[in-house]
Amino acid sequence: MKSVVGNLSGEYVARLKRRALSFLKEAEEAADADLAAFFAEQAMQLYLKAVFYELFGDRIRGHSLRELLGVLSKSLEKHGYTKLVGEIRDLVDEHRSWLILAEEAYIGGRYGDTSYTRDDVEKLIEVARSLIVVLDRVVNRVKLG
């Protein structure tokens, strides 16, 4: 039974990561900057949730990127991965204003409260790529259980 559960959890992680990368590709190709900003945010959110599930076996709820990164950091810190927590905090510190903009795109992209420029989208895509690199490094270095 355990191998079936492990296999299903692997499929879940793979599905979320595939969707995240698809959202990132859509962000790169979308003609509408507002939708592209939303897609970039979705890429980051889904990849974060996939990595958290991959490492800890739990689904985290919410959509605030900074909150999700905080939950991931606290969980890593609890297991002694302070260097990786530092890398995540550095990423958040460096890109805080863009993470906030991405969080706003989660709502604004659907309800039209805010408009985004192509320059905004290019930066959000860059931040998403940076986040994915850091998250992949976390997955490769963390050994639990």
Sorted by where each begins, the domain ranges of the chain are 2-141
pLDDT at 109: 63
86 neighbors 24 (Cβ within 8 angstroms): no
Spatial neighbors of 84 by CB under 8 A, at least 6 apart, are 76, 137, 138, 141, 142
Predicted TM-score (pTM) of the model is 0.91
Question: What is the spatial distance between Cα 51 and Cα 54, in angstroms, rounded to a whole number?
Answer: 5
Chunked into runs of 10 residues, the chain (145 residues) has average pLDDT values of 52 97 98 94 98 95 94 97 97 97 85 87 98 98 85
Q: How many other C-beta atoms are found inside a 10 Å radius of the C-beta of residue 90?
A: 11
Tell me the residue type at 104: E
pLDDT at 111: 75
Nearest to 52 by CA among 22, 19, 82, 17: 17
pLDDT at 107: 82
pLDDT at 5: 42
Question: If one looks up domain 2-141 in CATH, what number appears?
Answer: 1.20.120.330
